[in-house]
Amino acid sequence: MGSKGHYRYHWQSHNVKQSGVDDMVLLTKITEDGIVDNLKKRYMDDYIFTYIGPVLISVNPFKQMPYFGEKEIEMYQGAAPYENPPHIYALADNMYRNMIIDGENQCVIISGESGAGKTVAAKYIMSYVSRVSGGGPKVQHIKDIILQSNPLLEAFGNAKTVRNNNSSRFGKYFEIQFSPGGEPDGGKISNFLLEKSRVVTRNPGERSFHIFYQLIEGASADQKSNLGITSLDYYFYLNQSGSYKVDDINDRKDFQETLHAMNVIGIFADEQAMVLQIVAGVLHMGNLSFKEVGNYAAVESEEFLAFPAFLLGIDQERLKEKLTSRKMDSKWGGRSESINVTLNVEQACYTRDALSKALHARIFDYLVDSINKAMEKDHEEYNIGVLDIYGFEIFQKNGFEQFCINFVNEKLQQIFIELTLKAEQEEYVQEGIKWTAIDYFNNKVVCDLIENKVNPPGILSILDDVCATMHATGEGADQTLLQKLQMQIGTHEHFNSWNQGFIIHHYAGKVSYNVEGFCERNRDVLFTDLIELMQSSEHPFIRALFPESLQAEKKGRPTTAGSKIKKQANDLVGTLMKCTPHYIRCIKPNETKKPRDWEESRVKHQVEYLGLKENIRVRRAGYAYRRVFKKFLQRYAILTKETWPSWRGDLKQGVVHLLRSVNMDPDQHQLGKTKIFIKAPESLFLLEEMRERKYDAYARAIQKAWRRYAARKKYVKMREEASDLLLNKKERRRNSINRNFVGDYIGMEDLPELRQFIGKREKVEFADTVTKYDRRFKSVKRDLVLTPKFVYLIGREKIKDGPMKGQVKEVLKRKIELERILTVSLSTLQDDFFILHEQEYDSLLESVFKTEFISLLSKRYEERMQRKLPLRFSNTLEMKVRKDNWGPWSAGNSRQVQFVQGNGHVAVLKPSSKTLQVSIGPGLPKNSRPTRRDLTQGRQQTTRPQVTSVPTRAAPPPPGPHQNGVVKGFHNTSQWPPLNSQPSQRIPYQGTKSDRPSLPRQGTNFTEQHARIQHNLDFLKVPEQGAAGKRTGMTRPNGGKAHRQMTNRPPPAGGRPKPQPKPKPQVPQCKALYAYDAQDTDELSFNAEDVIEIVREDPSGWWIGRLRGKQGLFPNNYVAKI
């Protein structure tokens, strides 16, 4: 969204405000300043994502952005690259589609310094993949676990640092495993180097892990009582740094999310209680302090021992003993014996902290293991890996943890260089592509400085050697380490030393490390006394956290933290190298953690060390897209007939053929030995667009055929349902039985004067102009409208006074709730009359579309009332009328309508005081049903220009005034009949030219009809001469009428005769006597007086003709031959 109101960013690729360039490959000047300026423009307009080719740059906005909803998920799902603005969803969709299409594992490497937004980016990727992938209940359960693992691991592994309020203090590689159909059906988390020292100490202004604060803020009264929970500042482990609250974190709410996550993952209630019990036990352990008694440590206040001993299920005295003394094995000659060594205060504090750190670390490992077991899959197929690892860190005081974190980031930078810069250039050489090499900094030299084994040994190897020879405590070991580093690698170009530590020139800048505590933290030994103590717990859960076998003979060096992280980092690199990588480079715009705050120098520093300039240069000089020939042909095979469905021949020749067919400029691509390289993204977009058009055309053809089939099926079903209501109960009109249903015959959408009476959200199911008969059987026109809730009858009245006097306005005459309708009565003959019986009084109506109306009314009535609409059929119908208090009709409130057999298709009405007699000829038999046509006809039969077959249905007879099937046009309110028309008059509706065509009366022969339409043509004669045309003395031989003199006019074209026009081929023609509206797709519609070319005559009564370029069937009794 834009920064100004009229620049709202709505995430569509057209009509949006332009801020810089979406893809920095398109920058005019490739400099660090140009890159920073482009990122700043976009950031200030809330565009946080930018591309460098396939690499996504994400700038932390430090606020919730509006474009991560369902709408954006739909927009990016299946969209072509660059079709929409840059977004993390585009990268996630590209990963997911590539995995399915290419059958290759994918991974995304999210890198950047602490606070740049890596964890949030990982969450968005996992939520997107979870949202767009399908699956049933089991798959949904896996998705829930994937999403809920985030808040759980963040609670136990994230903390507030001076750089980031929700900093990941561990690294994780989350593999989402998929079935071949693209459904997530498993997963696995690998975690790296939890910063467990944060449990016991941290820098000023920082917090420990979130879970401690969540428990204190969110625990229930019972939990607080059972776990001894008090205030935050009571606990020594929490009050050292003086930071308790974080502005944008709600610990109470987050605690409930943590508990919910444990439920989803499948951790039972008693296990959850034990986890929280250990968390509380760690807090209480920190409140144990020691005093010096005769050079040895003693617990200062023994009452503080009770709660941690109770929570951990261990003996209080034993806990005191193990914290103040240590059992050591001593070997003398061939014998070994154990002796207890009493500890001093510093050693006792170290032991206490070691136990606290071990408890938290093992709980964290237990949670990771629980998540993995819940998602376990017996065999791997495809997977997408998301690497969310601690960012590069530079603090005031940098210790062993920062050294390990920055080493892992150095390894990730090496992968990025290997795969995006080095590997790309090497690939061009291998494939024989013309190429100019680009220089870049390869940080392998820094990685070797840290992890080399020998010649020269790396920092980790030297550290392990020092730890192997150090005594029980680390006194003096750190200084020994510093001396050895200066001796062995002091001359390295990326290494310097100072009196308290050393400096490494990392890819992200120089970092000064303090060696204090390096050896102790690297050794990471949990003394056997503490393991024995925990194995003596009365809680099986705690015993299971310490499964070590203490009797086993120890051989070789113990594993150190440094060697462990080195192995994990190299294993991770190996895993990532087996996948198709994608990159997100996160940038932190400021240190204030505030939105719209931009620190130029900080961003420029990150742009430099992330190597964005070199990345852009390689992308611009190189080729944006490369694919092996086989996969390229598979993807774009649809573009030509020769390559579809598969190319038979040499793969390279197939690629050449394809490129020629799309006219791709030779400068835009090169063919290597096994791959095609396409230079500009625009050329790739051209291929993608052509491919989409092909698929779109085929999809449209399939959709069109299906929609045609579905529509015809629907109309057949509607006709049959309507017909079933009258089956064996009422005779049918010939033109009614096979008619398609239209619904709105008066165009309600274009008539606001009628829509005003209908509810805003009410759907018009049916609308028609009908004839209504009142208590005196006087006819009047009404608009009949059916909605899902009401039946409306709308009429017209003259305004009697005021400025609008004499004008006609629309008036709502009746509004009947469907629930108030009692029944509907009809005769058994073919007439169009029906009576709506309502609780107050009834309405006698006549409509040519009665079957459609009653069918729709029945459906809506059944939906609302849960019972069928009662229909009554009789030739003597009773109707209840509204009482009047004057006139000869005031007595009695019922009328009768009698139906008798007569002649013809037009109803003859004979009204009397209380009875209306309707006489009409016989119609189709009562058991008549619509003609079922074959819905599975081929396309050719409906679209073939030459019609060769005629329908089996009978051709319709010439229409009468009440023809069923006449289509009405625009509704004109000024053409209504007089309001005082007599009952015996049958005045047809007179509309404008675009209204329903007027129909000839029954029995009118063609000659009379023809004579009636011969209008006076005198208006075509030349008018009398005006004043300007009078001439003095001019004689008028034609009796005073002025005509132009033709005799003196020179012949045109020098007297040459006008060439005769080419004779038109003689085609038999006929003129339409009446208007006809097509009742099916293979018929012609025409108006009276239209001239139709006759293609073929048929004895069935259906002729084939051509009108206005369309060929189709029409009934021969509607026309006369010319």
Dihedral sign, Cα of residue 310, residue 315, residue 321, residue 322: negative
Asked whether the beta carbons of 790 and 860 are under 8 A apart, the reply is no
**420 is a catalytic site residue:** no
**393 is a catalytic site residue:** yes
Query: Of 206, 257, 393, 424, which one is the catalytic site residue?
Result: 393
**442 is a catalytic site residue:** no
d(CA 561, CA 521): 7
**1087 is a catalytic site residue:** no
d(CA 297, CA 306): 18
**391 is a catalytic site residue:** yes
Helix (H) or strand (E) holding 793: strand 790-798
Dihedral sign, Cα of residue 404, residue 410, residue 416, residue 418: negative
Query: Of 38, 84, 119, 420, which one is the catalytic site residue?
Result: 119
Angle at 1107 between CA 1106 and CA 1112, to 5 degrees: 50
Q: How far is CA 665 from CA 572, 643, 672, 677, 684, in A?
A: 42, 20, 17, 13, 12
d(CA 897, CA 834): 10
d(CA 734, CA 732): 6
Q: How far is CA 858 from CA 713, 831, 850, 981, 1102, in A?
A: 20, 20, 12, 33, 35
Query: Of 187, 218, 391, 654, which one is the catalytic site residue?
Result: 391
- SS3 sequence, 270-315? HHHHHHHHHHHHHHHHHCCCEEEECCEEEECCHHHHHHHHHHHCCC
Tokens encoding 918: 């309707």
Tokens encoding 615: 């990345």
Helix (H) or strand (E) holding 213: helix 210-218
**168 is a catalytic site residue:** yes
Tokens encoding 949: 């077959």
Query: Of 19, 84, 130, 167, which one is the catalytic site residue?
Result: 167
DSSP readout, 370-401? HHHHHT--SS--EEEEEEE-PPB---SSB-HH
**114 is a catalytic site residue:** yes
Encode burial over 1025-1039: b for 16+ CB neighbours within 10 A, e otherwise: beeeeeeeeeeeeee
Q: Terminus-to-terminus CA distance in the chain, angstroms?
A: 69
DSSP readout, 16-50? ----S-SBGGG-SS-SHHHHHHHHHHHHHTT--EE
**Gyration radius of the chain over CA positions:** 45
Asked whether the beta carbons of 252 and 215 are under 8 A apart, the reply is no
d(CA 180, CA 1010): 75
d(CA 211, CA 194): 14
Query: Of 50, 94, 150, 168, which one is the catalytic site residue?
Result: 168
Query: Of 50, 58, 114, 383, which one is the catalytic site residue?
Result: 114
Q: How far is CA 363 from CA 211, 267, 776, 896, in A?
A: 12, 13, 92, 89
d(CA 1030, CA 1036): 11
Query: Of 19, 133, 161, 164, which one is the catalytic site residue?
Result: 164
724 beta partners: none
Tokens encoding 719: 């006709």
Tokens encoding 249: 């974190």
Tokens encoding 233: 């500042």
**295 is a catalytic site residue:** no
Q: Which amino acid, 434?
A: K
Query: Of 20, 53, 112, 115, which one is the catalytic site residue?
Result: 115
d(CA 983, CA 981): 7
- What are the residue numbers of the active site? 114-115, 119, 164, 167-168, 391, 393
